[in-house]
A and B are shown apart, each in its own frame.
Chain A
Amino acid sequence: MKNLKLKAARAGKDLSQQALADLVGVSRQTIAAVEKGDYNPTINLCIAICKALDKTLDDLFWED
């Protein structure tokens, strides 16, 4: 399932996939895979993404 919340939060911060990837120390393809729902990140990566985007885990990774 696509993670549209992550995509929206990234766009809200005006960051490209590459810029976010550089911030959290992964490849651009990994961010793309998380957004597409092709890859389930570990909790460590989730936390790193949340910190980079100033969001909580619930904001980005909790399904309503």
Chain B
Amino acid sequence: MGNASHFALFDLTPDFRLDLEGLAARYRERVRRVHPDRFAGASEREQRLALEESAQLNEAYQTLRSPSRRARYLLALQGEEMPQETTVQDPAFLMQQMELREELQELQEGADLGGLAAFKRRLGQAQEQLNEGFAACWADPLRRDEAERLARRMQFLDKLSAEVRQLEERLDD
């Protein structure tokens, strides 16, 4: 395995569009072969290798499954890894970020579960739109900036989804 790309581990050509079912089937097929449970009676060295290989396979699978992580990964494969947090360069989206955060805050204060469900749906739709946008431009080196911007927005919405889940949990109390 070594430095094979995540896509190569699954015999896939790097692309943003991905058949998740197909990926899952390939994952299952491969993990069966490298999982440490297959080496329960083997030498320590083999067990350690199995541990490392399956950890790598799991990491690759989790990265490719998530659209926003997949997007960042594709960009990293193409050029340099994206620098971490630089939302300052996206003033248009910054407004939207603040609005979304405020809305979430209000939902929390109002303990509004119904409103939260509607918010989640809108969030899902926004994520879909970003996915489409990214799919259209990532392969074009001239549109690199745009692709990076979209990837950052996807990451933000991911974080927001996580906060929504945390809020759901708190409201369950």
Asked if A pairs with B, the answer is no
Give the interface of A toward B (CB within 8 A): none
Give the interface of B toward A (CB within 8 A): none
